[in-house]
Amino acid sequence: MGGFVVVNFYRFVFIQDPELEVSKHLHFLQGHDIHGRIYINEQGINAQYSGPSENAVAYANWIKKDERFKDILVQVSPPIHKHAFPRLKLRYKPSLMEGGVSHLPLVDSSMRATPLTPSEWRKKLSNLNNKDVILLDVRNGYEWDIGHFNGAQRPNVDCFRSTTFGLSETEDNDSDPLANVNKENTEILMYCTGGIRCDVYSTILRQKGYKNLYTLKGGISHYLEREGPVEWIGNLFVFDSRLSLPPSLVKHESMNDESIKHEVANNNTVFAKCYICGSQVSELWHRNCANLDCNLLFLCCSSCMNELKGCCTLKCTSADRLRPVLPSHERYKKWHHYRDT
Helix ranges, the chain (H): 18-29, 53-64, 118-125, 141-146, 196-207, 219-227, 258-267, 302-307
Give the dihedral of Cα atoms 312, 314, 319, 325; nearest 10 deg.
50
Straight-line distance from the first to the last Cα atom of the chain, in angstroms, rounded to the nearest whole number: 40
CA 64 to centroid of chain Cα atoms? 23
Choosing from 159, 192, 301, 311, the catalytic residue is 192
CA pair distance 100, 162, nearest whole angstrom: 12
As a residue count, the chain comes to 341
Provide DSSP, 102-122. TTS-TT-GGGSPEEE-HHHHH
**Whether the Cβ atoms of residue 96 and residue 183 lie closer than 8 Å to each other:** no
CA pair distance 91, 22, nearest whole angstrom: 6
277 among known catalytic residues: no
CA pair distance 18, 166, nearest whole angstrom: 33
Residues 6+ apart with CB under 8 A from 24: none
CA pair distance 1, 190, nearest whole angstrom: 32
Q: Annotated active-site positions, please? A: 192
